[in-house]
Structure 1
Amino acid sequence: MKRKYILPLLLLVQIVFLKIIAFFPETVERLYSNGLYVWISRCSRTVLGSIPFSVGDVIYGIIITYGVVWFYKNRKMPWKEKLWKTLSFISVAYFIFHFLWAFNYYRVPLFEKMQIQREYSDADLIAFTEKLIVKTNTIHQAITKDRTQKVINPYTQDSIFKLTQNGFDKLAQQYPIFQYSVPSQKKSLISLPLTYMGFGGYLNPFTNEAQVNDKLPMYGFPNVVCHEMAHQIGFGSESECNFIGFMACMKNDNLYFQYAALTSALRYCMSNIGMKNEKEFNRLKVKINPGILENYKESERFWEQYDTVIDKAFHAFYDQYLKSNQQEDGIDSYSKFVDLLVNYYENKEIQ
């Protein structure tokens, strides 16, 4: 066999292998997520966490630049030859991607580990949302002392990075599986492109850096950071990371973290209700403090500035990416964390 065919063939082998290991989540959980990955992620964050800028973004920039230059220089190369070389690169990147992080997509689902039900009724959702509104109003009032004023987060983004550890430490006392150590949170160097793509942040799977869009409205910034940190500790599902991020924020002593989590969860719940029952949505909306609604409007105005065909295209691409990685609901999987919230807090106080 010619050498140029080896790596493309291995790409096919990898795809088949992933189809097989999807049937063995307990094995992935034991050997990778709670084994090899713990060591890999700790090493990555130890080496790169103290570097003040996003190493992953720089690497992406170098690769993209090299790719453009390579295609330009080899524009006269036969297309078949170019195809085999491109597939070889993809094969290597695909292997590194899974080895360093993405096998976590195939681990045991969080609802099984925490014994949380997946189904809930409309009445369950409404009851939880009522409870969520009361809690969100209470935290909002504690911060602003005025139910009509929006929350303005006084902390810098770097301060928020440091404050996140408090919530994860307390969460880990209750659930050791959420232990987080060796911080590596960064403001993304490509925050403007991320904004146009419609993303609040992302985990770089090659460097294990939690990348956060530094242009986001600050009232919700802590929740985004905690979501990306949940990816760092080995959870691939977006719904699970929303849930873990929510709990880490709620365990935090800082009220601004709690507010960020509560407003995000409330928005998801209200959206789910609004799609099913407009009358119930309107009844619940009037119970929400006007200042909270002002924060929602602030967020809407922010994203409207960057609402172009670009974000729709990237969301369509990301939707397919998620579906190909064990998240059958695609982009809608973000809102699936409502399932976890409603059932987890069914007989518990929100705290």
Structure 2
Amino acid sequence: MIKRPKLKFTIISFVLIAILMNLIFKRIPEFVEKNYSLGFDKTIRQALSISTGYIPFSFGEFLVIFLFLLLVILVLIVFIKIKNGGALNAILNLVTYLSALYIIFMVFWGFNYNRLSFDKISNLKIEKSSKQDLYLLCEDLIKRANMLREQVNENSQGVMIIPGGYKDVLKRTKIGYDIAEKKYKELGGKYGPPKPILLSRALNYTGITGIYIPFTGEANVNVAVTDLLLPATAAHEAAHQRGFAREDEANYIAYLTCTMHSDYDFKYSGTMLALIYSMNALYDKDNSAYKELVKTYSEGVKKDLQYDSEFWSKYEGKVQDFSDKVNNSYLKSNGQEDGVQSYGRMVDLLLAEYKEKNKLAK
């Protein structure tokens, strides 16, 4: 660790500056959008992503493991020093290390939480919606999912599969963004492809399906999951790679780029992501309406959802509960209160899009 105390205190003091900047940036999203998200930070993200893109595996995965182990070592040293003396310097080393990580995180990506919300970027009007609006959205998504399901491959058990596997999915994720960029320039840019996580199977126990690592600009995907939402997950992490930090907005962008995609498996995966979120919202608001619409699922859609549910049930437990709590705390610390709108921002964006399309159709 750094031996000079002055430098340590300087690094720690920069945390206060970063926190102050974050508070200011919350009030000026237009400035953040133009100068940080589409300016300074985009340059950093693209440079990192292109550089690490030449590496066939996730460099960030190994970096995170190394940084975590270093954190564990520093914490152990603190406890040892408490017993043997010299604890103050050990604590200072730990705080300096955490401060450096926080500053790099904020500079490389963290201020994106303050950029313009995607409804402003896409000119979608989020407003209070009725249960009837939600019902009609779900009905529309079911019709689309049922039709798209007929166009995808399935195995001998009648469950949706992607013949090319995860490698093919990660390679094709860019197509949806290339198409979406024509309408939303904010989704454009040059980035490396999403990468598979080597410890994917172990990650299943946490319930985590993907991780964006700002330190390396890599979109990392848990590939040891069912094929149903694999394309949507890859698109979700690619949204983070393009500077969209909010989880709910990354979900909507995943849906958007998947449904704009030229391939049916992506279209189906994105539609199913939207359907799952929308039907969960309807279940909370009107259980009888939810049950009524479930009956209209095609057999293929039913089998895919059942298989996905059975798959994840094998990994439920204390590890996933703890992971959820940690993730929720992280989201709240960055100002993400799901449900600030009527049904949560993901569903509200879907509702806004649905209403807009209906207006244009009339």
Identity %: 29
- Aligned with 2:151: secondary structure? helix
- Cα offset for 1:70? 4.2
Q: Which amino acid aligns with 1:200?
A: T
- Cα offset for 1:141? 2.0
1:341 corresponds to = 350
Change beyond 3 A, Cα 1:36–1:333:
farther
Distance 2:165 2:210 in 1: 17
Distance 2:343 2:174 in 1: 23
Structure 1 portions without partners, runs of 5+ = none
- State whether residues 7 and 87 of structure 1, in contact with CA within 8 Å, keep that contact through their aligned partners in structure 2: no
**What are the superposed Cα offsets for residues 310-347 of structure 1, whole Å, 9 maximum, x if unpaired?**
11111111111111113122899995311001111224
1:102 corresponds to = 110
**What are the superposed Cα offsets for residues 53-94 of structure 1, whole Å, 9 maximum, x if unpaired?**
110011112222333344445643243332222111111111
- Aligned with 2:195: secondary structure? strand
- State whether residues 74 and 93 of structure 2, in contact with CA within 8 Å, keep that contact through their aligned partners in structure 1: no
Q: Which moved more, 1:59-68 or 1:2-11?
A: 2-11
- Aligned with 2:106: secondary structure? helix
Q: Is residue 10 of structure 2 the alignment partner of residue 6 of structure 1? A: yes
Q: Which amino acid aligns with 1:49?
A: G
Distance 1:190 1:79 in 2: 35
**What are the superposed Cα offsets for residues 130-158 of structure 1, whole Å, 9 maximum, x if unpaired?**
11111110111233699x93322212211
Distance 1:43 1:145 in 2: 39
Provide the TM-score with structure 1 as the length reference. Answer: 0.92
- Aligned with 1:345: secondary structure? helix
1:158 corresponds to = 167
2:80 corresponds to = 76
- Aligned with 2:116: secondary structure? coil
- Cα offset for 1:10? 2.9
Provide the TM-score with structure 2 as the length reference. Answer: 0.90
Q: Is residue 280 of structure 2 the alignment partner of residue 271 of structure 1? A: yes
- State whether residues 124 and 356 of structure 2, in contact with CA within 8 Å, keep that contact through their aligned partners in structure 1: no
Distance 2:107 2:67 in 1: 19
Change beyond 3 A, Cα 1:30–1:347:
closer
Aligned residues: 349
> What value does the CA root-mean-square deviation take over the aligned residues?
2.5
Q: Which moved more, 1:341-350 or 1:321-330?
A: 341-350
2:51 corresponds to = 47
Q: Is residue 309 of structure 2 the alignment partner of residue 305 of structure 1? A: no
Change beyond 3 A, Cα 1:50–1:2:
closer
Out of 138, 143, 155, which is 1:129 matched to? 138
1:208 corresponds to = 217
- State whether residues 154 and 161 of structure 2, in contact with CA within 8 Å, keep that contact through their aligned partners in structure 1: no
Distance 1:25 1:324 in 2: 18
Q: 1:236-315 counterparts in 2 under 5 A?
A: 236-315=245-324
Q: Which moved more, 1:129-138 or 1:119-128?
A: 119-128
- State whether residues 168 and 180 of structure 1, in contact with CA within 8 Å, keep that contact through their aligned partners in structure 2: no
- Cα offset for 1:16? 2.6
